[in-house]
Amino acid sequence: MSHGSAPELGRRSVVVGAAALGAGLAVTGCSVAAPTASTAPAAGPLAPTAEVPVGGATIFPDQGVVVTQAEAGEFAAFSLACPHQGCNVAAVEGAEIICPCHGSRFGLDGGVLTGPATTGLSSVPVAVDGAELTLG
C-alpha cells in the first residue's frame, strides 16, 4: 500500500524557441517587372478612359496603379502594392486583379477575393475629365 512515490517533478517543459525565424530573411523574391518605388502612384493625367474595359481593369505600371471600371463610367484606382508582402499586382483576368507572388486575387472594388492577402488594395483618387482619367 505504499505506492506513493510518484515523481511529480518529472515534467520538464522544453521550450523550443521559435528559432525558425525565416521570416527575417529578405522577402524580395518578386520577379515582377515593376518600376522602382512603384508603390507611390503619381498624380496627374493617366490615360483615356477607353483603356479601361467595362467589367475589367487595366494596370498602369509606370504610374503604379490599377484602374477598374466595374460598370460603365464607374472608375476606381488602386495602388499596385499587394497588401500581403508588397509585390506589385501584375495581371488582370476578367474581373480579377492578380498578384504573381503568392496568388492573391482582388476584385474590381480592390477587395480580397483570394488570399493570402487579408486586406484589399489601397485606393487611389482618380477623376474622370471628359474621356481622360486623372490621378490625384
CB of 119 to ligand FES, least distance (A): 11
Position 101 contacts ligand FES (CB under 6 A): yes
User: What track of x and - describes contact with ligand FES for positions 54 through 93 (by CB under 6 A)?
Assistant: ----------------------------x-xxxx------
How many residues make contact with ligand FES (CB under 6 A)? 12
Position 99 contacts ligand FES (CB under 6 A): yes
Distance (Å, rounded) from C-alpha 2 to C-alpha 89? 71
Which of 80, 104, 121, 135 is close enough to bind ligand FES by CB under 6 A?
Answer: 104
Count other C-beta atoms under 10 Å from residue 95's C-beta.
Answer: 17
Position 97 contacts ligand FES (CB under 6 A): no
Backbone angles phi, psi at 50, to 5 degrees: -65, -15
Distance (Å, rounded) from C-alpha 118 to C-alpha 109? 14
CA dihedral sign, ordered 78, 84, 88, 89: negative
